[in-house]
Amino acid sequence: MRLEPDLPALAELGSDLVRTSRWQALIALARPVACVAGYVAAVHFGWWWCVPLVVFLLFVAVVTVAHDVVHGALHLSARQTEWALFAAGAIVLESGHAYRASHFRHHRVFPGPDDPEGDPARMTFAGAVLHGPIFLARLWWWAWKRSARGSRERRWLALELAWPLAVLAVALAASRAMPALLVYASLVIAGGWVYPLLTVHLPHKDYGDTPLTQTHTLRGRIVPHLFLELTYHLEHHLYPEVPSHNLPELSRRLDPLLRRAGVVPRRVP
């Protein structure tokens, strides 16, 4: 099956593109935990200057692994997938299951209607920034309304609402004895506000009406690696089952085809 006349099916590009070794999966799953450990270490040693950097790396790690888990790219079992979604979201006080529901919808219909994840692409820069504080709550409510009453999905969503509220309650109650927890909660909540801008508006800005023009791809020597290959957004939309660690190779194999189609990658450092 072909995506477009000029784009081959993934099997034609190479079955190796969907491979993920056990070590690659473990590394992807362990990165967020390592970042939390880094935050604890920074607080312990009083290195507050590096806390923002650690939290930035945490968000990159969480978004990357959540992407791969949602699309089955880490080849986890069904049970492992559910718990990985919960854990990835819980680390940054978000809902992994709401993300899965809205992200699948985004891939199916963008730029069509009823796509709460893709809505910031239609906003101005300022609008995407202002949308930040309500973005994740809106995704959760959208997923909740579409889950069946009494379903396992709704139970996960309920747990993923209760978890951040409980963490915030503990952080506020223990703010004098353990201020680092409140700082952490505040940082990850504020960090979630940049999602509409960085993960939706900018990648899809000035989108067209074909799969090749609905998002962009960024190429460079430093930035793509810093963002764990998330800058290959066009490649991800075209072949979402390819794990993040294989997106650079996918882009290399697609380059001749993209050039013929007139797609110009955006260059970054």
| pLDDT at res. 122 | 94
In a domain, 259, yes or no: no
For 239, residues 6+ apart whose C-beta sits below 8 A from its C-beta are 10, 13, 17, 250
3-class SS of residue 7: strand
CA distance 251 to 249: 5
CA distance 203 to 67: 15
CA distance 120 to 91: 24
3-class SS of residue 219: strand
pLDDT band per the 50, 70, 90 thresholds, residue 6: low
For 82, residues 6+ apart whose C-beta sits below 8 A from its C-beta are 97, 156
In a domain, 2, yes or no: no
| pLDDT at res. 151 | 96
In a domain, 76, yes or no: yes
Q: Average of pLDDT values for 138-152? A: 97
| pLDDT at res. 261 | 86
pLDDT digits (tens, 9 = 90+) for 71-100: 999 999 999 999 999 999 999 999 999 999
**Where is 185: in which H helix or E strand?**
helix 179-192
pLDDT band per the 50, 70, 90 thresholds, residue 2: very low
Q: In the chain, at which residue ranges do the beta strands (DSSP E only) sit? A: 218-219, 266-267
Q: Average of pLDDT values for 170-182? A: 96
pLDDT digits (tens, 9 = 90+) for 201-245: 999 999 988 889 999 999 998 999 999 999 999 999 999 999 999
Least confident of 3-7, 225-229, 256-260: 3-7
In a domain, 41, yes or no: yes
In a domain, 14, yes or no: no
Q: What are the C-alpha distances in Å from 176 to residues 172, 180, 200?
A: 8, 9, 37
In a domain, 31, yes or no: yes
Say which residue, 153 or 2, is predicted with more confidence.
Answer: 153
Question: What is the count of structural domains for the chain?
Answer: 1
State what percent of residues in the chain have pLDDT above 70.
Answer: 98
pLDDT digits (tens, 9 = 90+) for 35-77: 999 999 999 999 999 999 999 999 999 999 999 999 999 999 9
CA distance 160 to 162: 6
| pLDDT at res. 209 | 84
Q: Average of pLDDT values for 96-125? A: 95
In a domain, 140, yes or no: yes
Reference 244, options 1, 19, 89; nearest CA is: 19
Asked if residues 161 and 95 have their Cβ atoms less than 8 Å apart, the reply is yes
What does the CA dihedral 236, 241, 247, 251 come to, rounded to 10 degrees? Answer: -70
| pLDDT at res. 44 | 96
CA distance 150 to 115: 24
Beta-strand pair 218-219/266-267: parallel
Q: Is the predicted pLDDT of residue 195 greater than 50, yes or no?
A: yes
Percent helix, percent strand, percent coil in the chain, to nearest 5: 65, 0, 30
Range of the domain at 128: 20-251
| pLDDT at res. 62 | 98
Backbone dihedral region for residue 72 (phi beyond 0: left; psi -120 to 50: alpha; all else: beta): left
pLDDT digits (tens, 9 = 90+) for 177-194: 999 999 999 999 999 999
pTM of the predicted model as reported, rounded to 2 decimal places: 0.92
In a domain, 94, yes or no: yes
| pLDDT at res. 1 | 38
